[in-house]
Amino acid sequence: MWTYEKKLQYPVRIAKPDARAAKVIITQYGGPDGELGASMRYLSQRYSMTDKHAIGLLTDIGTEELAHLEMISAIVYQLTRDLSPEQIKAQGFEPYYVDHTLGIYPCSASGEPFNAATFQSKGDPMADLAEDMAAEQKARVTYDNILRLMDDPDVIDPIRFLREREIVHFQRFGEAMNYVVEAQNKHNVYAVNPAYRFK
Partner 1 sequence: MNRQQSLKRVRELSFMLDDIALFLDSNPHHQQALACYNKYRDLHARAVESYQTHYGPLTKCSAAGENRWTWLDHPWPWEKEAN
Q: Footprint of partner 1 on this chain (CB under 8 A)?
A: 3-15, 53, 56-57, 60-61, 64, 70, 73-74, 77-78, 168-169, 172, 175-176, 179
Q: Spell out the residues 6+ positions from residue 4 whose beta carbon is closer than 8 angstroms to its own.
A: none
Pick 81 or 89: Cβ nearer partner 1: 81
Pick 146 or 176: Cβ nearer partner 1: 176
Pick 32 or 54: Cβ nearer partner 1: 54
Report yes or no: 33 and 146 within 8 Å, Cβ to Cβ. no
HSE-up (13 A, CA, CB side) for residue 88: 14
Pick 73 or 108: Cβ nearer partner 1: 73
CB of 9 to partner 1, least distance (A): 6
Pick 118 or 172: Cβ nearer partner 1: 172
Q: Spell out the residues 6+ positions from residue 158 whose beta carbon is closer than 8 angstroms to its own.
A: 10, 11, 12, 71, 75
CB of 198 to partner 1, least distance (A): 30
Alpha-carbon radius of gyration of the chain:
19
CB of 45 to partner 1, least distance (A): 14
CB of 13 to partner 1, least distance (A): 5
Residue 17: alpha-carbon gap to chain centroid: 23
CB of 74 to partner 1, least distance (A): 4
HSE-up (13 A, CA, CB side) for residue 89: 3
Neighbours of 183 (CB within 10 A): 13
